[in-house]
Amino acid sequence: MDHGWIRHLAIVVAFATGASAFAAPQRPAEFRDLATRLANAEGIPRDLARARQLYCIAALQGDAESMYHLGRMYLDGRGVAQDDGLAKEWLLRAQRKGDVYAGRLLKLLPSTAARRDPLCIPNDHSHPTRRQITTWVTLLAPEYQLDPKLVLSVIAAESNFNARALSHRNAHGLMQLIPRTAQRFHVTDIWHPIDNLRGGMAYLSWLMDTFDQNIALSLAAYNAGELAVQRYGGIPPFPETQAYVKRILASYQSDRRQ
């Protein structure tokens, strides 16, 4: 029995409602809450390294409480090497965001010089360097069950690492999100590099799940839409889409070999 029409209907419903089988964190507070659970072993095994990464992801999106937790980790040497300079930097950032507890801890570090966290580069401007983008993708991609190298290949094809890229089809930012897709995957600020990456990865991860982890079909759907891939039963016969898939696969395979 051919169940293709059922799968097609499921995709249509998901597209129309914004529903997604994707269960990874979607908002800064969700990353922070999962990090706290990992740090405190609340119902899941303790994993301080991953907790720091999740706090970093939330902090990069402006979450003051995550900045505070990073400051505490460095101040206490919990899961990271103890470092008063890094602790002060994060606590200062949390304080500027209105976290009152950060201000109290800063009193313990009156003469310490603050310095930036090399493992989690704060987003201080709207034109991140390729190195910053690579750092963010390396942090984020595993949370979306994606290979960072694949995501970087998509970014190279979509925007050439230009966070302010805008296409004639109204696609925005690093992962060239259109407003409808951004809304579908809970993107608050389509121009914010981290938010744009998060939305693009959420969509790509959803496509990978929808097309049974087939990278070529998922890339084709990212370019032409999932309904087009479903309609043609494979990569649509659009020259742009076929060239897009070939380009990214070649780049991705080259990066994996290296």
Q: Identity (one letter) of the amino acid at 32?
A: R
Terminal Cα distance for the chain, rounded: 44
Per-residue pLDDT, 40: 95
* Spatial separation of the C-alpha atoms in residues 245 and 94, rounded to whole Å: 42
Instruction: Average the pLDDT over 45-69 and give the result.
Output: 94
28-106: CATH topology: 1.25.40
Query: Which of 20-24, 36-40, 69-73, 129-133 bottoms out in mean pLDDT, i.e. has the lowest?
Result: 20-24
Per-residue pLDDT, 93: 95
Q: Which two tokens stand for residue 224?
A: 């032409």
CB 39 within 8 A of CB 54: no
Is the pLDDT assigned to residue 120 strictly greater than 90?
Answer: no
Q: Identity (one letter) of the amino acid at 82?
A: Q
CB 74 within 8 A of CB 56: no
Would you list the domain boundaries of the chain?
Answer: 28-106, 124-257
Sorting pLDDT into bands at 50, 70 and 90, what band is 5? very low
Which tens digits make up the pLDDT trace of 128-153? 899 989 989 998 999 999 999 999 99
Residues 6+ apart with CB under 8 A from 226: 11, 15, 207, 210, 211
* Spatial separation of the C-alpha atoms in residues 215 and 218, rounded to whole Å: 5
Between the alpha carbon of residue 27 and those of residues 31, 84, 189, the distances in Å are 7, 29, 12
89, 158, 226, 240: the catalytic one is 158
Per-residue pLDDT, 19: 40
Question: Is 158 among the residues known to form the active site?
Answer: yes
Is the pLDDT assigned to residue 123 strictly greater than 80?
Answer: no
Is the pLDDT assigned to residue 3 strictly greater than 60?
Answer: no
Is the pLDDT assigned to residue 196 strictly greater than 50?
Answer: yes
Per-residue pLDDT, 89: 96
Burial class (CB in 10 A: 0-12, 13-18, 19+), 113: exposed
Residues 6+ apart with CB under 8 A from 9: none
pTM: 0.80
CATH code reported for the domain at 124-257: 1.10.530.10
Coil, strand, or helix at residue 51? helix
Q: Which two tokens stand for residue 209?
A: 């799940």
